[in-house]
Structure 1
Amino acid sequence: MLRFFILLFSMLLVGCQAPEDDQLQGTVVNIVDGDTFDVNIQGMGDERVRPIMVDAPEVCHQHDPPECEPEPYGEEATEFATDVLLGETVYLEQDESERDQYDRLLFYVYVEEDRMFQEMLLEEGLAEVVVYEPDVRYEEELYEIQEEAQAQEKGMWGR
């Protein structure tokens, strides 16, 4: 009987502990371009998300003027985001800022809990690192990945 109460008590303690991390989880429901997409976040609904610390080349949208021309590698970055993210579960980690000037949520975006989307974009040469303080948690690591892509002349770093 004592073992039963010990087991019950330990189960209650474990059940009351907070998760080890504070990541949100959601499903990518729409790709806007290589560095902007919509995520249905559990408990929040659909939100526009901007991955922190990367800038992918721009593409033209329906609301753009007819003379709009996509930047080189903009379409490739958008296709990459579509292939990697659309319909997938993502895990979202916040840094210091919650939203940008366009009201997009700012996150480090993970695929399969351990693979950061920003790293993937940079590895392919489909984005560059941009730093907007105070969101600098992975600055050093992301610059290293960009430098490797530049050295290998991948994507937009090709000559």
Structure 2
Amino acid sequence: MKRGTPFMFRFLIVICSMMILVGCQRPSDDDPLQGTVVNIVDGDTFDVNIQGMGDERVRPIMVDAPEICHQHDPPACEPEPYGEEATAFATDVLLGETVYLEQDESERDQYDRMLFYVYVDEDQMFQEMLLEEGLAEVVVYEPDVRYEEAFYEIQEEAQEREEGMWGGH
């Protein structure tokens, strides 16, 4: 056996061990969480398979889309105007796609849904898209207010253009 072989063997073991450990770490606070949207509940609620966490129900922060009827609702339930359109929009934009998730102050809402700003790519936030289409309105629950001013501006522009629910029904 050549001299230095045990050193090289130990060196490779250390490097491989480090690579395995790095691969098993959860993302740091600086790294955005990401996952794949696996189910759409309605225009503002969906399930995401988040890397390192599994499936989680997600509620995009600061927007409220009109409601639809679900299986558990009474038979007389009627969807709110534009609820079905918001759900279809969420399905078209999100289902099966990778999303990037940014938290504000709160981690979960009263229904145990994770709260995030949801990005479909680096510079395209789902909340902004819903507001631009007039398929949601801004709702503020402090302390999660990071994009409040920008969201209200987008909503006002949609109202001026009479987009979606702002166009009258």
Q: TM-score range by the shorter chain?
A: 0.7 to 0.9
Residue in 1 aligned with 2:55? Answer: 46
Question: For 2:143 and 2:28, how far apart are their aligned partners in 1?
Answer: 25
1:3-152 aligned within 5 A? 21-152=30-161
Structure 1, unmatched stretches of 5+, are 1-14
Task: Judge conservation of contact 1:99–1:105 (CA < 8 Å) in 2.
Answer: yes
RMSD of aligned alpha carbons = 1.4
Compute the displacement of 1:114 (Å). Answer: 1.6
- TM-score normalised according to structure 1 size: 0.87
Determine what percentage of the aligned residue pairs are the same residue. Answer: 88
Question: For 2:89 and 2:76, how far apart are their aligned partners in 1?
Answer: 25
Question: For 1:120 and 1:142, how far apart are their aligned partners in 2?
Answer: 10
SS at match of 1:157: helix
Question: For 1:74 and 1:146, how far apart are their aligned partners in 2?
Answer: 17
Question: For 1:42 and 1:154, how far apart are their aligned partners in 2?
Answer: 35
Give the letter for the 1:107 counterpart.
Answer: F
Structure 2, unmatched stretches of 5+, are 1-21
SS at match of 2:71: coil
SS at match of 2:86: helix
- TM-score normalised according to structure 2 size: 0.82
Deviation readout 1:121-141 (Å, 9 max, x if unpaired): 000000000000000000000
Question: For 2:162 and 2:89, how far apart are their aligned partners in 1?
Answer: 18
Task: Judge conservation of contact 1:22–1:93 (CA < 8 Å) in 2.
Answer: no
Question: For 2:134 and 2:120, how far apart are their aligned partners in 1?
Answer: 18
Task: Judge conservation of contact 1:90–1:113 (CA < 8 Å) in 2.
Answer: no
Structure whose CA Rg is larger: 2
Question: For 2:104 and 2:133, how far apart are their aligned partners in 1?
Answer: 24
Residue in 1 aligned with 2:9? Answer: none
SS at match of 1:131: coil
Task: Judge conservation of contact 1:54–1:118 (CA < 8 Å) in 2.
Answer: yes
| Superposition misfits of 4+ residues, deviation over 2 angstroms | 18-22
